[in-house]
Amino acid sequence: MDDLVRNSTVTLKKGEGRSLKAGGVWIYDNEIASISGTFKNGDIVKVSDFDGFPLGAGFINQNSKIRIRMLTRSRQQTVTEEFIRRRVFDSLTYRKTVLRPEDLNCCRLIFGEADHLPGIVIDKYSDVLVVESLALGIDRLKPLILDELIKLLKNEGINIRGIYERSDAPVRKKEGMEPFKGFIGDEFDTDAEITENGVRYLVDVVNGQKTGFFLDQKYNRLAMQKLICGLKTVDSDIRVLDCFTHMGTFALNCAYAGATDVTGLDISAYAVSQAKANAERNGLQDVVRFKEANVLDELPRLYEEGERYDVVILDPPAFTKSREATKNAMKGYREINMKGLKLVRDGGFLATCSCSHFMTQELFTEVIAQAAKAVHKRLIQVEFRTQAPDHPILWAADESYYLKFYIFRVSEEK
């Protein structure tokens, strides 16, 4: 089969490529000394160190500061269509290995760089695939990747009824690509019903956040089910406050596990309407209440009214999407954790998370400690978790590690 690599070589400057050599997958524009041969943006080119030592091959795009996205770090590897198909096969095999069989109903099948297919994400919601393509090079290989994935799923007895593309992130413009949102192939009913941890949801892949649903919190939601089951052994009445509830996922998992009084807050009217519909879908509408509210304003109001909860869950959107904004983001995380902690009854629990890879585990831990000290609370760490394993973390590729999730037991200073 034909080699897809162009007869063109990118040579790094002396002393550059440190991230790449440490296991990373990106080469930035300011690390490159020269480019020989002919190519078009999106082509696969060879990469060499300053002294000519081969470092592998990757997509080139001169529109982007991320000039090269590596496909392989092997000197001997030939990049062919079969090579790409094998990468897709490996990605699916990995999910079958690390997820419970029932979790293949809804999961991330390909996670870009962490699956050695840089720039593309593919999520599965029952019999629907949702694609996000953010890099020019991988966009050209998208039909091949989807063709192979559909074939492999069919071999597993899973027939995909439709594919929808959610490549509408503004970051595409940095690749010289316009945001795109629409059907790949025939149109179909884009509402997909999924079951996760026993809870049923209707996913709107057209209008939902990201690709329609936050799959990365799958096992963190399951951890909350386990916590509620434990609380039930000592108290029959369990009050839960789920902040930034989105589609009601944490709230519904707590109610499903036996919490008796659950409140979900979100600033989005659309999210609240979806959450209410999901509560009815699970017969939990008498246990869970959802309210449209600005969480930062609502938490102090609840505190002043004397409300206290056995469990408070904080799952805010990313407060920073750049390294430069991290300092301000720390203030935001500190504030929301202070307000959340004040609402936890003595001996209750706080679940808190950050979904920004710029907010490192160390920084996030520091912020939580500062928040607890400020409101005179003591914390016992119950669990620290990250994203579900269908969102694998590739070491040395920091952007693949983004979700940090803590569960604490909270007590008053005594």
Residues 222, 279, single domain; the answer is yes
For the chain, the farthest-separated pair of C-alpha atoms sits apart, in whole angstroms, at 72
Task: Tell me the CATH number at 12.
Answer: 2.30.130.10
Please tell me which residue, 233 or 209, carries the higher pLDDT value. Answer: 233
Q: What confidence tier does 321 reach under pLDDT thresholds 50, 70, 90? A: low
Question: What is the pLDDT, as a whole number, of residue 325?
Answer: 72
Flag whether pLDDT at 297 surpasses 80. yes
The verdict on residue 210 lying in a domain is no
The verdict on residue 110 lying in a domain is yes
User: How many structural domains does the chain have?
Assistant: 3
Q: What phi, psi does 28 have (nearest 5°)?
A: -90, 160
Residues 123, 232, single domain; the answer is no
Instruction: Tell me the average pLDDT across 318-325.
Output: 70
Task: Tell me the CATH number at 397.
Answer: 3.40.50.150
Residues 19, 118, single domain; the answer is no
For 267-276, the CB contacts below 8 A with 24+ separation are 267/292, 267/293, 267/294, 267/295, 268/292, 270/207, 271/245, 271/246, 271/247, 272/245, 274/202, 274/204, 274/208, 274/247, 274/248, 275/245, 275/246, 275/247, 275/248, 275/251, 276/248
Residues 135, 35, single domain; the answer is no
Question: What is the pLDDT, as a whole number, of residue 1?
Answer: 56
Flag whether pLDDT at 188 surpasses 90. yes
Proportion of the chain above pLDDT 90, given as a percent: 89
Indicate the range of 89-98, 210-219, 238-247, 367-376 predicted with least confidence.
Answer: 210-219
pTM of the predicted model as reported, rounded to 2 decimal places: 0.94
CB distance 342 to 375 below 8 Å: yes
Instruction: Tell me the average pLDDT across 241-256.
Output: 97
Instruction: Tell me the average pLDDT across 160-170.
Output: 95
Flag whether pLDDT at 279 surpasses 90. yes
The full length of the chain comes to 414
Flag whether pLDDT at 251 surpasses 80. yes
Residues 153, 302, single domain; the answer is no
Of 204, 236, 258, the residue at which a domain comes to its end is 204
Question: What is the pLDDT, as a whole number, of residue 39?
Answer: 95
Those residues with Cβ within 8 angstroms of residue 304's Cβ, 6 or more apart along the chain or in another chain: none
> pLDDT tens, 58-114?
999 999 999 999 999 998 889 999 999 999 999 999 999 999 999 999 999 999 999
Q: Which residue in the block uniquely carries the two structure tokens 């209410």?
A: 276
Instruction: Tell me the average pLDDT across 270-277.
Output: 95
Question: What is the pLDDT, as a whole number, of residue 322?
Answer: 66
Residues 275, 332, single domain; the answer is yes
Indicate the range of 212-216, 226-230, 283-287, 317-321 predicted with least confidence.
Answer: 317-321
The verdict on residue 340 lying in a domain is yes
Residues 339, 389, single domain; the answer is yes
Q: Which amino acid, one-letter code, is at 223? A: A
Q: How far apart are CA 276 and CA 299, in angstroms?
A: 21
Flag whether pLDDT at 208 surpasses 60. yes
Residues 400, 265, single domain; the answer is yes
Average pLDDT of the chain is 95
> pLDDT tens, 3-19?
899 999 999 999 999 99
Of 72, 92, 116, the residue at which a domain comes to its end is 72
355 catalytic residue (yes or no): yes
> pLDDT tens, 102-118?
999 999 999 999 999 99
Q: Which residue in the block uniquely carries the two structure tokens 């949801």?
A: 201
Residues 144, 247, single domain; the answer is no
Candidates 243, 254, 353, 355; catalytic one: 355
Residues 151, 236, single domain; the answer is no
The verdict on residue 102 lying in a domain is yes
Please tell me which residue, 361 or 323, carries the higher pLDDT value. Answer: 361
Q: How far apart are CA 271 and CA 292, in angstroms?
A: 9
For residue 54, give its domain range. Answer: 5-72
Residues 86, 65, single domain; the answer is no
Flag whether pLDDT at 294 surpasses 70. yes
Flag whether pLDDT at 41 surpasses 80. yes
SS3 content of the chain, % helix, strand, coil (to 5): 35, 30, 35
The verdict on residue 330 lying in a domain is yes
Residues 173, 118, single domain; the answer is yes
Residue 132's alpha-carbon distances to 198, 275, 407, in angstroms, are 27, 24, 31
DSSP state of 325: G
Question: What is the pLDDT, as a whole number, of residue 212?
Answer: 82
The verdict on residue 209 lying in a domain is no
The verdict on residue 366 lying in a domain is yes
Question: What is the pLDDT, as a whole number, of residue 210?
Answer: 77
Of 204, 231, 256, the residue at which a domain comes to its end is 204
Question: What is the pLDDT, as a whole number, of residue 272?
Answer: 95
Flag whether pLDDT at 305 surpasses 80. yes
Instruction: Tell me the average pLDDT across 261-272.
Output: 96
